[in-house]
Amino acid sequence: MALNINRIESLVRELLIEIGEDPEREGLVKTPNRVAAALEFLTSGARADPDTVINEAIFTQKTNSMVIVKNIEVYSLCEHHMLPFFGRCHIGYIPSGKVFGLSKLARLVDLYARRLQIQERLTEQISQVVMDTIGAQGVGVMIEARHLCMMMRGVQKQNSEMITSSVVGTFRDSAATREEFLALIGSRGN
């Protein structure tokens, strides 16, 4: 489903007027168009399909060693205030005969992050799509993020950080597997 860019531009013009701005002011004349284009990009994950993103980049590999991609940049919009949250995502999985092409994990993170989102759901969605797509033995996902809705407004705590994790399969069932994952990504993902 394509967005109605003209409608979004009209709504942004109305919003500018409602907050006491002049949409004809030099600095704001093109703002409705820029906001519409930004929202189209920042919510593109809601209109994307994981299978298309993966694009069959799944390969046969006989290994049961843990695979980790860490420090994947995450940028999303919180669904409560439509303000950004941003941070890092760490993904680990134990294959069961199939592995992802390396860039596909980062692309899956983007797919789920580019929608109105909450961090808790985002973390779960990533772990579930990895588990389901390759039939992994187990998956661990950790996201560390800073939320502008908490930093710029409300309690205004600039140094706050939210950490969420989702562990499924062997990552949930085995404390040793979970501990290996956490040790490998480092306590702060460094």
**Quick check: is 80 catalytic?**
yes
Q: Which of 73, 80, 120, 161 is catalytic?
A: 80
Q: Which of 14, 73, 79, 161 is catalytic?
A: 79
Q: Which of 40, 81, 128, 180 is catalytic?
A: 81
Phi, psi of 19 (to 5 degrees): -90, 10
**Quick check: is 89 catalytic?**
no
**Quick check: is 119 catalytic?**
yes
Q: Which of 9, 90, 119, 125 is catalytic?
A: 119
CB atoms within 10 A of CB 90: 21
Q: Which of 9, 78, 90, 144 is catalytic?
A: 78
**Quick check: is 90 catalytic?**
no
Q: What is the DSSP string of 10-74?
A: HHHHHHHHHTT--TTSGGGTTHHHHHHHHHHHHTGGGG--HHHHHTT-EEE----S-EEEEEEEE
Q: Which of 40, 124, 128, 149 is catalytic?
A: 149
The catalytic site residues sit at 78-81, 119, 147, 149
